[in-house]
């Protein structure tokens, strides 16, 4: 199996990035990843102010997928996520939502062992590994890996974990897939500006889909399917995720505009992924059983 190492990191998703590896459609690929700080923090005595900000949010890649052409959809099956033995969290004045309540910078190193992350001497939680940054190259201007968008990127969606399938747009030949910014655990919203940031590795299967009508980014797991949308404000991201799913219900399941909207109000769950990046990200979730009832099968 092809492995892509962290020495190939990029900080912008761009059509001009030279691919570091090539895979055939249907291949499995393992991406080794640094944490969102470029693994610069190894002690609680180090803080945000001492970081090299040119090395923030590195993404491993990009990978060229043979047969992926503009207009296609890249199917990324997330097979497994491996984590390092510790994660890191930081805060500081003005950082995230809670930055308004702190007056100095702080760093916390959190051990990860036996499927648990130790928060402090009283609190430990089960890990829930996820990918914060995953995307393809946009067709136009390069996008910083810290920013989400229609290409994917720093969506920080807690549902992008092992067992899920993410559908991303192919904007340029080969798609140019890259990923990083793993979390051992993170709450929806990422309100304090980070989750339990951690290095690790992700194994995926990549497949180029022709004539796929899914609105991207789109995510499917065992029991849920969801549209993901990023915009400058949370309100815009909420509307975008909702209308993206509304369009899917009409186009792919055949519901009329009234039933599609009513269905979303009855069983759709609109959730915030993150509110701390340059663009905010929301998702609209529906039970997978709805698609199954209509005989729809995800490619």
pLDDT tens-place values along the chain, 299 residues long = 999 999 999 999 999 999 999 999 999 999 999 999 999 999 999 998 899 988 999 999 999 999 999 999 999 999 999 999 999 999 999 999 999 999 999 999 999 999 999 999 999 999 999 999 999 999 999 999 999 999 999 999 999 999 999 999 999 999 999 999 999 999 999 999 999 999 999 999 999 999 999 999 999 999 999 999 999 999 999 999 999 999 999 999 999 999 999 999 999 999 999 999 999 999 999 999 999 999 999 99
Same domain, 168 and 250: no
pLDDT at 53: 87
Same domain, 174 and 262: no
CA distance 123 to 108: 14
The residues facing 213 across adjacent strands are none
Nearest to 112 by CA among 138, 143, 81: 81
Same domain, 163 and 18: yes
pLDDT at 254: 98
CA distance 215 to 232: 19
Same domain, 98 and 183: yes
Same domain, 162 and 241: no
Nearest to 299 by CA among 230, 207, 234: 207
CA distance 129 to 281: 19
- Coil, strand or helix at 236: helix
Domain assignment present for residue 161? The answer is yes
Domain assignment present for residue 87? The answer is yes
**E runs forming strands in 10-72:** 12-13, 21-23, 28-33, 59-65
Same domain, 58 and 176: yes
Range of the domain at 271: 223-293
Domain assignment present for residue 215? The answer is no
- Coil, strand or helix at 137: coil
């Amino acid at each position: 199996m092809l492995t892509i190492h962290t020495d190939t990191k990029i900080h912008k998703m761009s059509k001009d990035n030279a691919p570091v590896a090539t895979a055939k459609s249907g291949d499995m690929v393992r991406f080794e990843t640094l944490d969102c700080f470029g693994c610069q923090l190894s002690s609680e005595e180090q803080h945000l102010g001492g970081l090299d900000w040119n090395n923030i949010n590195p993404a491993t890649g990009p990978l060229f997928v043979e047969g992926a052409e503009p207009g296609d959809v890249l199917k990324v099956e997330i097979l497994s996520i491996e984590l390092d033995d510790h994660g890191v969290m930081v805060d500081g004045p003005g950082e995230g939502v809670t930055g308004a309540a702190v007056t100095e910078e702080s760093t916390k190193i959190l051990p990860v062992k036996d499927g648990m992350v130790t928060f402090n001497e009283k609190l430990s939680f089960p890990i829930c590994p996820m990918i914060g940054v995953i995307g393809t190259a946009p067709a136009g201007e390069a996008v910083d890996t810290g920013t989400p968008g229609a290409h994917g990127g720093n969506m920080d969606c807690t549902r992008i974990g092992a067992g899920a399938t993410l559908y991303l747009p192919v904007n340029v030949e080969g798609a140019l897939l890259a990923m990083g910014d793993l979390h051992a655990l993170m709450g929806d919203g990422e309100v304090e500006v980070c989750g339990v940031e951690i290095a690790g590795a992700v194994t995926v299967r990549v497949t180029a889909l022709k004539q796929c009508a899914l609105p991207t980014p789109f995510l499917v797991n065992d029991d849920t399917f969801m549209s993901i949308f990023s915009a400058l404000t949370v309100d815009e991201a909420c509307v975008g995720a909702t209308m993206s799913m509304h369009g899917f219900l009409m186009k792919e399941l055949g519901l009329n505009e009234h039933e599609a909207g009513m269905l979303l109000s009855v069983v759709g769950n609109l959730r915030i992924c993150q509110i701390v990046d340059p663009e905010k990200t929301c998702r609209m979730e529906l039970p997978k059983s709805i698609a199954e009832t209509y005989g729809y099968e995800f490619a």
